[in-house]
Amino acid sequence: MHSPEPAPGHLDLYAKRKAVFPKAVDGRFRRFKWLVMVVTLAIYYGTPWLRWDRGPYAPDQAVLLDLGNRRFFMFGIEIWPHEFYFVAGLLIMAGIGLFLVTSAVGRAWCGYSCPQTVWTDLFQHVDRFIDGDRNAQLRLEAAPWGPQKIFKRGLKWTIYLVISFWTGGAWIMYFADAPTLTREFWAGDAAPVAYATVAVLTATTFLLGGFMREQVCVYMCPWPRIQTAMLDEKSLIVTYKDWRGEPRGSVKKAEKNPGAVGDCVDCNQCVNVCPTGYDIRNGPDIQCITCALCIDACDSVMQQIGRPRGLIDYATLEDCEIERAGGQPKPIMKALFHTRTLVYLGVWGAIGLALLFALGVRTQIDVSVQKDRNPPFMLMSDGEIRNAYTVKLRNMQTRPRLMQVTLEGLPGGVMWTDEMAREKAAREIRVTVAPDQVEVMRVYVVAPSDTTPQSFSFALKATDAEGGGDTSEARFDAPEE
């Protein structure tokens, strides 16, 4: 397998992946990562199973993206297709939120909460659970294939597969009633797209989390490239303080020669724990997802040899310059809140407030009118002029509502629908609109023979205590004489 050692000056076009076997580590950032992992996985796997009572006419799943019926349910909020701008707004907020987080605390998204990071972390814990820690993993990797290695690999990949399948299975639960879909899924009655989705997501989770891991971040993901434009000298990043650590030397050397060596004892712990196998002492790089595990590793080493923590630490480039010159770094809050982060925060908050405002004032009943244009108007045998309209009454609430439509303007005009007789034509008609539905009516409006072309309105009003209404303007065509 091993190619001959390339000669100096050799440039590889295709580098073989150097497998990473990160060592287990404990510390404040590791514990924070545990917390983030538990919370994000719980949200992902658990959310579809939350129930939310919406009455008898709507599903009781708290979060449901009902693509078939084109309704998005999110706890107390129901989004119709024409309100998709709420989803667009949330996505824009998510984007600006990433800018905000990146400019304040660097690649925190990558380091803690990106699904690729979380699932890779989960799978690396499976590795440690089955194979043992870094050294045992390295030994097993180098060992020839024998019964033990086959058993361990088989067991590990089976666990990978189970987690992957569970991950793919959880995804489809967002798109249908979870308990029903689970039953149908195992009975073989679910839609083919459900099985296909689970198969694809199981495969991607298995491959991306189990095998490709840090290569996704380094080679595939566009986000680290964009992030380099987001970061500046005021962003917190994981930094090796080389002015303190260099030149590297052992504890013994330091005892023999005080002052000649820096704090870094070259123990390589920071590299061993790195999930992407990067040496942070080479400076910031696309490989560093700022998960801060090297900080934990270095801190515990520094504690053992009785030196102050923070040889590797979160710091801004600005602070590094100050510290290098022997000054006092700015307090952390000052580092977090600078002009750039405040601007992002402002934009982010403004969009959020605008969305909340729009949500607060949105109407849940709505009338829209489309006029027949062929023919634009009709003469009736009694000489009156008839125009026809398609009127849509929208009831966005999950209960039936009695609504009243009234003609405003158009003197002498009356209307009727194709479900009633013309004799019953009136200036207002009442319709019960089914819950969460649009009632489409064909409405005929007649006006006296001397009516001239003009504008008028259909006014909609809910007749119940809650009330609410809407108005839609329409045109009445008549012969021009």
Min separation Cβ 416 and another protein, Å: 10
- In sequence order, what E strands does 344-480 have? 365-371, 378-379, 385-395, 401-408, 414-417, 428-433, 437-447, 454-462, 469-476
Torsion sign (Cα): 140, 146, 147, 150: positive
Short-list 45, 63, 65, CA closest to 168: 45
Instruction: Name the site residues for another protein (rule: CB under 8 A).
Output: 3-7, 9-10, 372, 374-375, 378-383, 386, 388, 418, 421-422, 442, 444, 449
Which helix (H) or strand (E) is 77 found in, with range?
Answer: strand 77-79
Give whichever of 15 and 187 is closer to another protein, judged by the CB atom: 15
Give whichever of 280 and 474 is closer to another protein, judged by the CB atom: 474
Q: Is 462 helix (H, G, I), strand (E, B) or coil?
A: strand
Give whichever of 9 and 188 is closer to another protein, judged by the CB atom: 9
Q: Rounded to the nearest 5 degrees, what angle is found at the Cα of 394, between the Cα atoms of 391 and 398?
A: 155
Min separation Cβ 116 and another protein, Å: 23
Contact 231, 288 (CB under 8 A): no
Min separation Cβ 87 and another protein, Å: 32
Q: Which residue has the tokens 């990473």?
A: 20
Give whichever of 95 and 375 is closer to another protein, judged by the CB atom: 375
Min separation Cβ 388 and another protein, Å: 6
Min separation Cβ 424 and another protein, Å: 13
Give whichever of 269 and 387 is closer to another protein, judged by the CB atom: 387
Min separation Cβ 449 and another protein, Å: 7
Min separation Cβ 101 and another protein, Å: 38
Tokens of 141: 């990797």
Give whichever of 355 and 431 is closer to another protein, judged by the CB atom: 431
Min separation Cβ 5 and another protein, Å: 7
Give whichever of 12 and 53 is closer to another protein, judged by the CB atom: 12
Tokens of 232: 């500046």
Give whichever of 329 and 453 is closer to another protein, judged by the CB atom: 453
Ordered alpha helix ranges (H), 233-338? 242-245, 251-256, 269-272, 293-304, 317-324, 332-336
Contact 248, 265 (CB under 8 A): yes
What does the DSSP assignment read for 128-177? HHHH-SHHHHHHHHHSPP-HHHHHHHHHHHHHHHHHHHHHHHHHHGGGS-
| Separation CA 57–CA 395 (nearest Å) | 12
Q: What is the CA radius of gyration of the chain?
A: 33
Give whichever of 56 and 192 is closer to another protein, judged by the CB atom: 192
Contact 43, 36 (CB under 8 A): no
Short-list 313, 271, 302, CA closest to 23: 271
Min separation Cβ 452 and another protein, Å: 17
Give whichever of 142 and 421 is closer to another protein, judged by the CB atom: 421
Torsion sign (Cα): 108, 110, 114, 117: negative
Give whichever of 244 and 475 is closer to another protein, judged by the CB atom: 475
Give how far Cα 413 sits from Cα of 164, 260, 306, 367, 478, Å. 65, 100, 93, 19, 12
Tokens of 192: 């083919």
Short-list 403, 402, 428, CA closest to 417: 428
The CA-to-CA distance between both ends of the chain, in Å, stands at 94
Contact 406, 428 (CB under 8 A): yes
Give whichever of 240 and 416 is closer to another protein, judged by the CB atom: 416
Min separation Cβ 419 and another protein, Å: 9
Tokens of 273: 């724990």
Give whichever of 6 and 192 is closer to another protein, judged by the CB atom: 6
Min separation Cβ 425 and another protein, Å: 12
Min separation Cβ 1 and another protein, Å: 12
Min separation Cβ 444 and another protein, Å: 6
